[in-house]
Chain A
Amino acid sequence: MPPPNTPEEGLLPPQSEPSRIASILATATPPPTNSSLVQPSSPEAANTAAPTSQEDPALLEIDYQILEYLDTVDETLLCPVCKTPFHSPVTTTCGHTFCAWCINRALDIQPTCPIDRQPLTKTRDYHRPPLIIKDQLDRLKVKCPNKGCDHVCSREHLDAHYERRCEYTMVRCPDSKCKKRIARRHVQEPASTCMHREVSCRYCDEKVALVDLNTHYDYLCSGATTKCSACDATVVLHRMEKHCADDCPEPQIRCKWHIAGCKIFDKRYLVQEHEDGCPYEIIGELLKQRAEDRRIIDNLTDRLVTLETERREHQERRARRRELSRQATNTSRGADAIDLSAPDPSSFFFDMEWRPELANVTSGENRTWGSPEDYMLARFERLESRMEDLSKQVVEMDAHQSMSMLQQIMPLNQQLVELGSKVGVLNMHTTWLMNMQRHNHIQQRAGAASASTSGLSNSGMVSSNEINNNAVRPPSEGGLPYRSTSRRNSDGRGEPPPRL
């Protein structure tokens, strides 16, 4: 918030203002209008105008609950508690959105969600609402809450208007000792004097605050009077001119329907009587209506023309984009993998085409989402080309991945085969040993039966020599599947069992 009365451009009161008051003080000419002195005030000002706190805020806060929205606002943007479009919304853990102020008040009374009664704790259970809500709220068109100001803007710019630009915003009186507020437009430059300071009316004895002087002159002042020379009425002296121009019944005037052809020209009171039933009234009304229609038609024509041009521009742009993106896809389809890293012609195009527009959108005072579908289309096409890039990259990655997989798997595979062969050898030797054992048993039994004791003494131990002698041979490897890799035991017949 800027300090009050910062002499920014927007803050300066209209040029005419100080000089006008000066001229009023100097001459008896009443100002043409008094509307400027209707005390503008933010609606809250009425309630909180008398600041009680020591720290007087520079500006009164905007009351968002009484803002006037121009369009009908979608139900989903209305706070379920206050039924107005969300103001600084929060979303609860249970997924409901409220104005922060409303949910705080509701939880003060009862610590559950007003909608589904889930237990809630202030602040802790609040989340930031989805950005789309903020976007939609930002775009709502609102009227400036200051009385007298008919400024309309999107809600996101309202604070800036109210705080810095609106001439009707009540700011602190330039006199730091004064605690009252004053419409920004009444602050005189150099801002030093209090506009609430009372001055004496030139025409009566009353003391009037400087800021109210115009109203006083126009309506309230009952200073020295005089009789109108024409109509004999008693008129406050400095309002005589106005009286003669607008009110005095004597001077001759034309019927108000003279534009429609009425020829009446008479004293005001006679003409006023006549005007009630003037036969030209119908024509006059028709003329007025026609002029109004004309104006509407002109407006519509203007709008139509601009819309038409805009539409054509968008169409052209879209067509161009389509063309380019088609070319882009064609070239990338024909191109090999290396070309993928080169900038996509279509994205280059978008950069050129869209950057300036996006810049406009964000920097402009009023967002010109003139072509949302255009914008979306552009985004979409851009995303599409990104997609294509990505899917190509994925394919590439895939190939790479399988390659490295293979490279890692090959040695493993070999080791596996080797292990398999060793197991085969082991198997072979086990069989060989068992055969030998069996052979020994048979021999022993035969020997015992014939009572000849050739091998009895070394019944448990069998030497390698004996084995050889017994002609128990390891099975031939011919039938084994790992022949190609078995090297050591290719000729294991005369050797001890191979190491494992």
Chain B
Amino acid sequence: MAGFATKRLGKELSKINSNSLPPGIELVSADNFEEWFLDIRVLDNNPLYLNQIYRLKFRFSAQYPIEPPEVTFVKLADRPIPIHPHIYSNGIICLDLLGQQGWSPVQNVESVCMSLQSMLTGNSKNERPAGDEEFVRANRLRPKDIDFYYDDNNV
């Protein structure tokens, strides 16, 4: 069955358009069914993320939602990469929810955004993942090809 992702994303989009997203999450663009951009911000007063808005890029394969989307933070003039022990400075997110193992097809764009939101909210460490610099320098792979170790589940 072709276009499974398209049909599902169409459903999600019309739901977003009619019900709007939860607070702190905004759809920036969804011009096609391959790549969407969303803005998220943290709702509490966590000083690490205060008054900041972050841009997320979703890339969907044709197998979405059976396969997870590829989600990264995007750096722009007014959209930094949030500091977090599981977010590399090039925007790659290390979250088991987005890996092949942790993903579930009942997830959707909205739920992923909310998970990321709470991942930031719950963080108090002002640091990048170990080996960030090296990783960012060496990394030419697509995020999904990287074999993350989800050794830390309390993110």
**Chain A residues near B (Cβ < 8 Å):** 47-48, 63, 65-66, 80-84, 101-102, 105-106, 108-110, 114-115, 117
**A101 and B1 form a contact (CB under 8 A):** yes
**Cβ of B144 under 8 Å from chain A:** no
In the bound complex, CA of A81 to CA of B64 (Å): 10
> Considering the complex, which residues of chain B in the window 16-57 have a beta carbon less than 8 Å from any beta carbon of chain A?
none
**A66 and B7 form a contact (CB under 8 A):** yes
| Contact A82 B7, CB 8 Å, known A47-B2, A63-B1, A106-B66 | yes
Q: Of A47, A65, A81, A110, which contacts B65 at CB under 8 A? A: A81
Q: Which residues of B contact A48 (CB under 8 A)?
A: 2
**Cβ of B153 under 8 Å from chain A:** no
**A80 and B106 form a contact (CB under 8 A):** yes
Q: Of B3, B11, B66, B105, which contacts A47 at CB under 8 A? A: B3
The 17 sampled A-B contact pairs (Cβ below 8 Å) are A80-B105, A80-B106, A82-B4, A82-B7, A82-B8, A83-B8, A83-B11, A84-B7, A101-B1, A105-B4, A109-B66, A109-B67, A110-B104, A114-B104, A114-B106, A115-B104, A117-B104
**Cβ of B100 under 8 Å from chain A:** yes
Closest 3 CB pairs of A and B: A80-B106, A114-B104, A83-B11
**A102 and B105 form a contact (CB under 8 A):** yes
Q: Which residues of A contact B106 (CB under 8 A)?
A: 80-81, 114-115
Main secondary structure on chain B at its contact with chain A?
loop
A43: nearest residue on chain B (CB-CB)?
B3
> Considering the complex, which residues of chain B in the window 88-144 have a beta carbon less than 8 Å from any beta carbon of chain A?
100-101, 103-106, 108
In the bound complex, CA of A115 to CA of B67 (Å): 15
**A109 and B100 form a contact (CB under 8 A):** yes
Inter-chain pairs besides A83-B15, A105-B105, A110-B104, 20 sampled, C-beta below 8 Å: A47-B2, A65-B1, A66-B7, A80-B105, A81-B65, A81-B106, A82-B7, A82-B11, A83-B12, A101-B1, A106-B66, A106-B104, A108-B66, A109-B63, A109-B67, A109-B100, A114-B105, A114-B106, A115-B104, A117-B104
Q: Which residues of B contact A80 (CB under 8 A)?
A: 105-106
In the bound complex, CA of A110 to CA of B100 (Å): 8
In the bound complex, CA of A105 to CA of B4 (Å): 11
In the bound complex, CA of A115 to CA of B65 (Å): 13
Q: How far is the CB of A142 from chain B (nearest CB, A)?
A: 15
Q: Which residues of A contact B3 (CB under 8 A)?
A: 47
In the bound complex, CA of A63 to CA of B67 (Å): 21
Q: Of A65, A82, A83, A110, which contacts B101 at CB under 8 A? A: A110
In the bound complex, CA of A81 to CA of B11 (Å): 11
A112: nearest residue on chain B (CB-CB)?
B104
Q: Which residues of B contact A102 (CB under 8 A)?
A: 105
**B105 and A106 form a contact (CB under 8 A):** yes
Q: Which residues of B contact A65 (CB under 8 A)?
A: 1, 4, 7
Q: Which residues of A contact B105 (CB under 8 A)?
A: 80-81, 102, 105-106, 114
In the bound complex, CA of A108 to CA of B66 (Å): 9
In the bound complex, CA of A115 to CA of B100 (Å): 15
**B66 and A105 form a contact (CB under 8 A):** yes
Q: How far is the CB of A92 from chain B (nearest CB, A)?
A: 13
Q: Most B CB atoms within 10 A — which of A66, A80, A83, A117?
A: A83
Q: Which residues of A contact B11 (CB under 8 A)?
A: 82-84
B104: nearest residue on chain A (CB-CB)?
A114
Q: Most B CB atoms within 10 A — which of A109, A115, A117?
A: A109
